[in-house]
Amino acid sequence: MSKKVKDFQIPVQEQMLIFEKKFREHMRTDVALLDRIMSYIVKSKGKQMRPILVFLTAGATGQIEDQTYRGASLIELLHTATLVHDDVVDDADYRRGFFSIKALWKNKTAVLVGDYLLSRGLLLAVDNGDHELLRHVSTAVKEMSEGELMQIEKARRLDITEEVYFEIIRQKTATLIAACTAVGAASSGASEEVIKKMHKMGEKIGIAFQIKDDLFDYGTDEIGKPLGIDIKEKKMTLPLIYALNNAKWLKKKEVIFKIRTQNTNQKVVREIIEFVKSSGGLEYAEEKMHEYIKEGRAILDELPDSEYKTALHQLISYVVERKK
């Protein structure tokens, strides 16, 4: 995302500035090393889509309250904790264009930093009696872990169904987006019925977001994600699943064998990309993405008109139109 303010950010620009100050306060510590790392995390923060989503949903369903700021902080603290731990698991040296905590301070420190962020989030919720918000976010973290483990289990066989794929991405990606929209609604004083609808809307947006990410694997080298990285990591994405499901038995067996044994060979990766493209995998995935977007918009349209609702529609458009 460019430095230019996106249209969907405009209604909550002021709230985001306040949030950034509050978030830094929640991360403050007397341990010098830890405080230095917390400052680094704040400096290397990403697009902040999740807190923006919390504030926009709160504004669209009720009032932005003090609890909304705590909800956004809780999401960011627990999400950042999972990212720090992920970099250790994946042995990743970079995160959002910056060196990862693991790369700069090594594994032991990174794991402890992740634990610290997790505990700060839990205490923030418990100390303020935000038990409902904590339930939404804790459920998301639990499901994210389950989704990752399910993907690891299924990746060994490289022959997953579309149904299993959608369950993996619902848990891995969509559950946290759903927590953002549910937390936003819960913090605004919305009814239980509205909170459930906002959770469902977030889930739809999150699934569409992941399908868009899958499509980047078959794009050009200019995008933010390296070409064919999912194939190299033996991840079964929707375009590939569709292509395999519609291939003849022998071709399917051949492609799976290549992914299993030659996934680091750039020539083979390009062959698989062409196989997926010629099979109509990209068109199918785009069609599915737009189905989920349509369902998400339909839920959003049940809310009364407001600048926040308009901004949420713009954010949904950004999910499918983004370049990285």
Does some domain include residue 294? Answer: yes
In this structure, is residue 190 part of a structural domain?
A: yes
Residue 2 forms part of a structural domain: no
**6 falls within a domain:** no
Strand, coil or helix: what is 4?
coil
Kindly report, residue by residue over 114-145, the tens digit of the pLDDT: 898 899 999 999 999 999 999 999 999 999 99
User: CA-to-CA distance for 192 and 209, rounded, in angstroms?
Assistant: 26
pLDDT band of residue 66 (cuts 50, 70, 90) is: very high
User: Does residue 108 lie in a domain region?
Assistant: yes
221 pLDDT above the threshold of 50? no
CA angle 27, 25, 52 (to 5 degrees): 85
- pLDDT band (50, 70, 90) for residue 3: very low
CB contact at 8 A, 71 and 184: yes
- How crowded is residue 226: how many other Cβ atoms within 10 Å of its Cβ? 11
Task: Specify if 3 maps to a domain.
Answer: no
- Give the pLDDT score at 220: 44
**pLDDT value at residue 210:** 92
Considering the domain boundaries, does residue 1 fall inside one?
no
Overall pTM > 0.75: yes
| Tens-place pLDDT, residues 277-293 | 999 999 999 999 999 99
Could you list the residue range(s) of the whole structural domain that residue 132 is in? 11-321
Number of structural domains in the chain: 1
216 vs 225: CA distance, rounded Å? 7
Query: Is residue 5 included in any domain, yes or no?
Result: no
CATH code of 196's domain? 1.10.600.10
